Every structure is written in C-alpha cells, then in structure tokens.
Amino acid sequence: MIIFVWAEDKKHQIGLDGHLPWKLPADLHHFKKITYGHPIVMGRRTFMSLPHILPGRMHIVLSTKKELKNKFHDNQRVLILSSISELQSWIGKHKNLEICVIGGNSVFNVLKNQVDCLEKTEIKATFTADVTMAKLNYSDFKIVKREFHQPDNLNFYPYEFLTYMRKEK
C-alpha cells in the first residue's frame, strides 16, 4: 500500500527553502505516528531537509547524486535509488508493506496514480512558500477520517488531519 503523508496550507503549499513554512508540533507527532515502522520514500531535497535519519524508518531516497549514494552506501537505513524505474521496481518488490511517501512534489507526481491512501494535514492558514503539492484527483478518493483541531499554546494555527482512501474501481 502506498500512502502519501504531507501537510499543506490553504493554497496547497508544502515547502519553503527546503523546509516546512510553519511550526506545528502536532503535525510532526502525527507524521511520526503514521510513518514509524514503515519505509519512507522521498526525493533528495526532502531527505536533506530532515534533521537526521529518522528512527524506526527505512529511508528510500530518489536521487541521481553519486556523492549521496557513496555517503550512505553502508547505511542499512538509507537506500539511494537513482531513477524512477529503480523506485518502481523497489515498490513492486515491497507491495506487502505500507510505504509512506513524504515528498517532495516530484515524487508525489510520479506516484500519484498508484497511491492508495492520503494522510493530509490541512493547515487553515497561508504561508510564504516555494513548493506546492502535486495536483491530486480527489474524486478518486473518499474521506474516511477527519479530525479538526483548534490552535493552542504550541500549535498556533487551526488544522485538520484528513485520511482519504482510494475508491474501488
């Protein structure tokens, strides 16, 4: 099963200068809850934006940078794949796993016709950003869970956790 996991603002924006444009600790906790114990698929820029290799998750990184592949070739928790066909092959060999795709836009675009589940955090605010979420056809999905949260002393914006599942064809 392929699961997209991301947060976006009211304009579907997801990143600024290689980082999240907002601070929302509840979303980071939600992200960890969903992705922990599952492989996470991402592009090089998303990988480089992480503070460190995240515990409890295999990192599958799509990148053509040879120096990145060399740097992590002995790391059992990081696999660098250099092409979309390598990524598709890896996914095909791991169909029994819940595979979490965490960004960025180009990786979401490549896999948007294969995704089974969407785990979206909608932040009810607008931020300065330079990356927008890939356009998804939401008519192919149904909402199965939604949790709305008001701002609090740690999370300064209203937000909603939404889970969508692909409709049967």
pLDDT of residue 6: 98
Identify which of 126, 151, 30, 40 has the alpha carbon closest to the alpha carbon of residue 87: 40
CB crowding 99-134: b at 16 or more within 10 Å, else e: bbbbbbbbbbebbbeebebbbbbbbebebebebebb
Q: Per-residue pLDDT tens, the chain, 169 aa: give them.
A: 999 999 999 999 999 998 899 999 999 999 999 999 999 999 999 999 999 999 999 999 999 999 999 999 999 999 999 999 999 999 999 989 999 999 999 999 999 999 999 999 999 999 999 999 999 999 999 999 999 999 999 999 999 999 999 998 6
pLDDT of residue 18: 87
Counting every residue, how long is the chain?
169
147-149-40 Cα angle (round to 5): 60
| Entry pTM | 0.96
Provide the residue ranges of all domains of the chain, joining segments of one domain with +.
2-166
Range 2-166 classified under CATH 3.40.430.10: yes
pLDDT of residue 112: 96
Residue reference for tokens 């480089």: 48
